[in-house]
Amino acid sequence: MVRVLVTRPGPGASRTMRRLQDMGFQPILLPLTETVALPVDAGARPLDAAAVAVTSANAVRHAPEELIAALAALPCHAVGNRTAEAARKAGFLSVGEGPGDATALADAIVAGYSAGTIVYLAGRVRFPAFEERLMAAGVRVRAIETYDTLALDYSDTDLLTRLSSRPVEAVLLYSAKAAAATETLIRRPALRDLFEKTTFFALSGRIAAACESIAGSRIEIAPEPQEEALLGLLRAWR
């Protein structure tokens, strides 16, 4: 059975594990990052807030209830269906599902923008293109950071145990930070042999670039930045 390393943190990791099992793969959970809530001023909402934008489900999962309550009546623009689902669960009343790509979501917001500030619930570590696209078009953006992404560290012994000291055929990469952590991990002398023939599957080109120096030609990039596309790529590869 093909062994697939899942580097994303929970709760998404457990969902991915179940999908891989249903597809006939053997998932190995090894989260390389974790998300932690940041302190947020409950009164952080701007007075002229016109709408909310969310490009990560973690942004609403980690937002304090008081902040969500203050924003819940505003239109919420979510990057894709998973993020939209998290926004509705958090309490937003009117949630629009975007195309799954942050820059495309920014273009959609620009097309319908008239006035006011877009409140962007986000992580401390994030790709700047979304905000840059909005601001370049004259849209006022107020980013409220609700969570941070931290790298996790493992000893060689712990890693060898988790990997059963056996080669890994495939690795799924969901973020640039996890991709960079994977690159660092693979360079360890104790682990290098386990990844000599590994194929890496990245959710986007930006994520792939974070580990291209070690993955080389053994990296595949999903045609769309969505898990469905990533797993489809994995299914076709097998």
Residue closest to 227 by CA, chosen among 8, 5, 62: 8
Rounded Cα gap, residues 184 and 187, in angstroms: 5
Tokens (6 digits) for 117: 């500030």
Choose the final residue of a domain: 90, 119, 149: 149
**DSSP class of 194:** G
Q: Are 28 and 194 in contact (CB under 8 A)?
A: no
The letter for the amino acid at 183 is E
Within 39-193, where are the H helices? 57-61, 65-71, 81-90, 102-112, 129-136, 156-162, 176-186
Average pLDDT, the chain: 92
pLDDT score for 216: 73
Please tell me the pTM assigned to this model: 0.84
Co-location of 65 and 158 in the same domain: no
pLDDT score for 101: 85
Co-location of 109 and 144 in the same domain: yes
Co-location of 40 and 93 in the same domain: yes
Helix pair 102-112, 129-136: axis angle to 10 deg: 20
Q: What percent of the chain has pLDDT over 90?
A: 68
Co-location of 80 and 136 in the same domain: yes
Co-location of 127 and 46 in the same domain: yes
Start-to-end CA distance of the chain, whole Å, equals 10
Residue closest to 75 by CA, chosen among 38, 43, 42, 112: 112
Q: Look-up: residue for tokens 């998932």?
A: 27
Residue-range definition of the domain harbouring residue 137: 36-149
Q: Which residues of the chain have pLDDT under 70?
A: 42
Co-location of 160 and 202 in the same domain: yes
Co-location of 201 and 131 in the same domain: no
Co-location of 42 and 110 in the same domain: yes
The letter for the amino acid at 54 is V
CATH of the domain at 55: 3.40.50.10090
